[in-house]
């Protein structure tokens, strides 16, 4: 899937977070959106996903030379972020089974395969509310990376992960990203976007103050 941003901007109140973003994410490309904390890169990722509506300009998703209707865009994306809410009353097993009702897993993986690859099989029947922040992030990443989708969006994927978990993330995303379009937000942590071949600096789209 190709994603086209044309003069895209977002503001909250009177403050512009970014403006005039002109970029095309080509099918199968891997791009890192880089910027400091609070710079607006997460907001840009949400605009790309369709979760947040731009204040100006447009975001267009193209598949088979046709524009994907806005209400259908979410079906083509998988997403993971440290601020992403989880159903805390669910166990990991229940979370995996629930997502699998709406989205198939890559490579014909089973629900049990997904749990095993998360590295959390020992806690699969524990409620998510009792998980540490690192365990929750593992669960989010596993279900996003292994979900069958055209586009994978990862916002600061190594947040709350220790060194061993960062290595696990790298191996998982390298093995299963395939020919997806991947967009990663990072504040210059190379372990998060080592596989990306293109970078986009959010600072380049900050309005010039008078």
Predicted pLDDT at 195? 96
Q: Where are the domains of the chain?
A: 2-205
3-state secondary structure (DSSP) of residue 155: strand
Question: To which CATH superfamily is domain 2-205 assigned?
Answer: P-loop containing nucleotide triphosphate hydrolases (3.40.50.300)
pLDDT tens column, 64-100: 889 999 889 989 999 999 999 999 999 999 999 999 9
Gap between the Cα atoms of 12 and 191, Å rounded: 31
The conformation of residue 6, written as its DSSP 8-state character, comes to E
Do the beta carbons of residue 41 and residue 206 sit within 8 Å?
no
Q: What is the mean pLDDT of the chain?
A: 95
| pTM of this prediction exceeds 0.85 | yes
Indicate the pairing of strand 66-67 with strand 56-63. Answer: antiparallel
Q: At what angle do helices 92-100 and 111-118 cross, to 10 degrees?
A: 130
């Amino acid at each position: 899937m190709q994603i086209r941003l044309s003069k895209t901007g977002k503001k909250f109140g009177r403050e512009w977070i970014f403006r005039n973003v002109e970029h095309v994410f080509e099918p199968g490309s891997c791009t890192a959106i880089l910027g400091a904390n609070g710079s607006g890169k997460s907001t840009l990722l949400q605009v790309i996903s369709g979760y947040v509506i731009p204040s100006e300009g447009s975001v267009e998703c193209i598949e088979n030379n046709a524009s994907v209707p806005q209400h259908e865009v979410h079906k083509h994306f998988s997403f993971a972020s440290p601020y992403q809410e989880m159903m805390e009353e669910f166990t990991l097993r229940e979370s995996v089974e629930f997502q699998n009702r709406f989205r198939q897993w890559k490579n014909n993986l089973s629900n049990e395969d997904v749990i095993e690859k998360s590295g959390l099989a020992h806690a699969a029947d524990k409620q998510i509310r009792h998980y540490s922040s690192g365990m929750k992030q593992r669960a989010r990443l596993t279900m996003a990376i292994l979900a069958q989708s055209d586009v994978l969006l990862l916002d600061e994927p190594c947040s709350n992960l220790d060194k061993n978990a960062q290595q696990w993330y790298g191996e998982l995303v390298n093995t299963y990203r395939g020919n997806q379009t991947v967009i990663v937000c990072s504040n210059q942590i190379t372990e998060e976007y080592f596989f990306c071949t293109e970078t986009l600096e959010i600072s380049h789209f900050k309005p010039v103050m008078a």
